[in-house]
Copies of this chain bind each other. A is one copy, B any other.
Amino acid sequence: MLARRRFLKGAALAGAASGVAGAAGFPRPALAQGTKRLRMQMTWPRNFPGLGTGANFLAETIHSLSDGALEIEIFGAGEIVPAFETIDAVESGTLDMGHAAPYYWKGKVPATEFIAGVPFGLTASEATAWMQFGGGQELADEAYAQMNCKFFLSGCTGTQMAGWYSREMNSIDDYRGLRMRLPGLGGEVIAAAGAAVINLPAGEIGPAMASGTLDAADWISPYNDLAIGMHRSGWLYYYPGWQEPGPIMDNFINLDVWNSFTNSEKAMFETANAAANAHVYSEFLANNNAALAEMLNEHDVQMRRLTDDTLVHLAELSRDVLDNLANADPLSRRVYDSILRFRAEALPWANVAESAVMQARALDYQFSQPSGG
């Protein structure tokens, strides 16, 4: 899982973080020769792999669709306002749009933590289907309207990993006293199992792993973990990412700005976000494929799977954490109920469809080889 605090120090991680500073003076939304200029801040650095690049794709697509009439100016975390005040700035109209992850807004609207995705919940494809056909869009719009925003699903990272561990994890008891970086709901679940959760920004993870301050650490998945060098720890790389089966990103637009759009402008935002959502997931998938291959083939990373018994305990602790949160807030309860109803039908289908065919592909047989080798 990503973490709020890391963005305050994390900008140096971006390959091409921008040095743009005094860009705060643009009119919003400005009309210049028929062009509407919209200002969007992210909670990540510019060009951050998968996330910032997804925002770029969104802006470029809307620019192309509108033949240049809609221009989205992208700002990295902190360039206009601090990263986690992005939605306040969009709410007030200081910014027009934001690009982030829903759980960052749980302090304002607790239901956003459920919208972001829950432990043992939906995969990327299921979360997308829930949004489109299971009532998710309507619930998310209701949640974001409380922050004067229109909501869009704007990117799925796909299933994350369970993290890096300095020692074998053989049972739920091994979480007792474990000093682990694991923000969000996952962190609450392992805290319930006795872990000491220590959330550090990305730039401090590696040193804390090396110094022994941490016994375990989660970041994202191979694409991003390789980029920040987590494989150099020599630790075991555990799966599956039970805490984040299919987390999503949001794009949110000030409601007054949204309501000022023509129908075709609204269609451009809807359609570009649908395309961006798939594009981000494809980017993560293709790059996770390649990064995992590099970890296994060149860096001799050792993979481990959490035991079934450990996973069952984590699922039951997740249930308790989620039930407590849902019962404390009416909109969270409605969002969670909607997710649970979708999940109750999605699991039996996954079991005989995508999960079953992925297991069949993984059996031991000799398949075709590329003609080149």
B128 in contact with A278 (CB, 8 Å): yes
With A354-B158, A357-B242: A348-B129 Cβ-Cβ less than 8 Å? no
**Does A263 lie at the interface of the complex (its beta carbon under 8 Å from any beta carbon of B)?**
yes
A357 in contact with B283 (CB, 8 Å): no
Task: Note all chain B residues with C-beta closer than 8 A to A352.
Answer: 161, 239-240, 292, 303, 305
B345 in contact with A290 (CB, 8 Å): yes
Among residues of B, the one whose C-beta sits closest to the C-beta of A333 is B371
Interface string of A8-19 (1 = CB under 8 A from B): 000000000000
Task: Note all chain B residues with C-beta closer than 8 A to A126.
Answer: 285
Task: Note all chain B residues with C-beta closer than 8 A to A94.
Answer: none
B159 in contact with A221 (CB, 8 Å): no
Set B124, B293, B319, B367: member contacting A319, Cβ < 8 A: B367
**Does A370 lie at the interface of the complex (its beta carbon under 8 Å from any beta carbon of B)?**
yes
In terms of DSSP, what is the predominant structure of the interface of chain A?
A: helix
Set B132, B353, B361: member contacting A158, Cβ < 8 A: B353
A245 in contact with B370 (CB, 8 Å): no
Task: Note all chain B residues with C-beta closer than 8 A to A274.
Answer: 274-275, 278-279
**Does A31 lie at the interface of the complex (its beta carbon under 8 Å from any beta carbon of B)?**
no
Interface string of A255-297 (1 = CB under 8 A from B): 0000000111001101110110111011101111110110010
In the complex, 24 of the A-B residue pairs with CB atoms within 8 angstroms, ordered by the A residue number, are: A61-B271, A66-B264, A120-B360, A131-B282, A132-B283, A159-B354, A161-B352, A221-B353, A240-B360, A241-B353, A242-B357, A245-B357, A278-B278, A289-B345, A293-B345, A306-B360, A315-B360, A315-B367, A322-B368, A337-B370, A347-B362, A350-B361, A351-B362, A354-B354
